Amino acid sequence: MPPTPTTVPCQYRTGKTLGSGTYAIVKEAVHIKTGKYYACKVINKKLMEGREFMVRNEIAVLKKISSGHPNIVTLHDYFETANNLYLCFDLCTGGELFDRICAKGNYHEPDAADLVRTILKAVKYIHDSGIVHRDLKPENLLFRTPAEEADIMIADFGLSRVMDEERFHLLTEICGTPGYMAPEIFKKTGHGKPVDIWAMGVITYFLLAGYTPFDRETQQQEMEAIIAGDYKFEPEEYWVNVSETAKQFVRECLTTDPIKRPTAGGILKHPWLAKPHFVPDPAS
Ligand code: ADP
Ligand code: MG
């Protein structure tokens, strides 16, 4: 049975805006009774016209599975008003992975491998629960605290399945980069679990180099490059200190045929993710 919203928004006081994305604004919110802080995602109902029922069902699923893994933001509460849907998540105060990559330039290989391993384990958990994230990118990977070694958390998943039509429109028309989207999404031949592994390949490339593999002058060119799997480990200067094993890992994730692409469980066994981390031979 679909859950009926019970809570009213005045139980929370909203504060500063933490971020905004494809279809929502996220605000800091304090639960008045307990004084606890949350991140409250506000989704305009106009964006899901006719699909409210599906969205509510999906939220119930999210609530159930999100508390089951330490690297996924837990959905604690949700409620509705006439115009908006409010989702209250764990508050992550450490910012987006995107900003950390930009601040650092790039990640050292062992640190990148640690992050990728952690994220992939959480992706495997999501996939094993029957859900595809569909929008994995460094803007949706958040640090729990500002500490350097803070846990990384996967945010913003689950709802994309029901918001999809709108999202695809927004992505291509307004939001710019389709950089993390798998070839099969453009070819409209499928958008199952393999799309998340593709995105992990793009994210790993970004972590290692500090830029993404399919950046092109126009969106059309970018899309064509993605469909063709046309990317290189260049310019050379950004890749000289990166091991062949790391490049092999990226290549496997960026397999253009989703059927041949490894699963989360499969790619977790890749030697690049083995511990202790493989140390590249600088001379080779
Ligand atoms: P959208 O579906 O619109 O992309 P997101 O859930 O990705 O919405 O949230 C948009 C942005 O808000 C994120 O990129 C992040 O900067 C911020 N944000 C989202 N969830 C949290 C959270 N739990 N804690 C802190 N900031 C968050
Ligand atoms: Mg997002």
Per-residue model confidence as pLDDT tens digits over 25-43:
999 999 999 999 999 999 8
* Closest ligand, as measured to the CA of 20: 1
Which pLDDT does position 175 carry in this prediction? 40
Spell out which residues line ligand 1, taking CB within 6 angstroms: 18-24, 26, 39, 41, 73, 89-92, 96, 139-140, 142, 155-156
Alpha helices in the chain (DSSP H): 52-66, 97-104, 109-128, 160-173, 183-186, 194-209, 219-228, 244-253, 264-267
Whether residue 139 has pLDDT greater than 50? yes
Report the atom number in ligand 1 closest to the C-alpha of 22. Answer: 3
Share of the chain above pLDDT 90, in %: 64
Residue nearest to atom 15 of ligand 1 (CA): 19
Average pLDDT over residues 7-23: 80
Residue nearest to atom 16 of ligand 1 (CA): 19
pLDDT band at 70 (very low <50, low <70, confident <90, very high): very high
Instruction: State in Å: Cα 242 to ligand 1 middle.
Output: 31
The string of pLDDT tens digits covering residues 186-214 is 888 878 899 999 999 999 999 999 999 99
* Closest ligand, as measured to the CA of 137: 2
Stretch among 33-37, 82-86, 170-174 having the lowest mean pLDDT: 170-174
Instruction: State in Å: Cα 20 to ligand 1 middle.
Output: 6
Report the atom number in ligand 1 closest to the C-alpha of 43. Answer: 3
* Closest ligand, as measured to the CA of 47: 1
Average pLDDT over residues 107-112: 94
Q: Which has the higher per-residue pLDDT, 164 or 140?
A: 140
Cα 50 to Cα 47, 53, 57, 101, 248: the distances in Å are 9, 8, 13, 39, 44
Instruction: State in Å: Cα 27 to ligand 1 middle.
Output: 9
Pocket test for ligand 1, best of 58, 143, 156 (most atoms within 8 A of CB): 156
Instruction: State in Å: Cα 139 to ligand 2 middle.
Output: 6
pLDDT band at 171 (very low <50, low <70, confident <90, very high): very low
As a whole number, the mean pLDDT across the chain is: 87
Whether residue 162 has pLDDT greater than 80? no
State the Rg of the chain over Cα: 19
pLDDT band at 51 (very low <50, low <70, confident <90, very high): confident
**Cα–Cα distance measured from residue 226 to residue 187, given in angstroms and rounded to the nearest whole number:** 10
The string of pLDDT tens digits covering residues 149-159 is 999 999 987 67
Evaluate the omega torsion of the peptide bond into residue 5 and state whether it is cis, within 30 degrees of 0. no
Amino acid at 115: L
Instruction: State in Å: Cα 269 to ligand 1 middle.
Output: 30
- Choice among 77, 90, 135, 156 that is catalytic: 135
Whether residue 283 has pLDDT greater than 80? no
Which pLDDT does position 278 carry in this prediction? 59
Whether residue 20 has pLDDT greater than 90? no
Stretch among 3-12, 127-136, 218-227 having the lowest mean pLDDT: 3-12
Which pLDDT does position 166 carry in this prediction? 47
**Cα–Cα distance measured from residue 40 to residue 85, given in angstroms and rounded to the nearest whole number:** 10
Which pLDDT does position 87 carry in this prediction? 92
99 in catalytic set: no
ipTM over 0.95: yes
Give bridge partners of residue 78 from the DSSP assignment: 87
Report the atom number in ligand 1 closest to the C-alpha of 160. Answer: 2
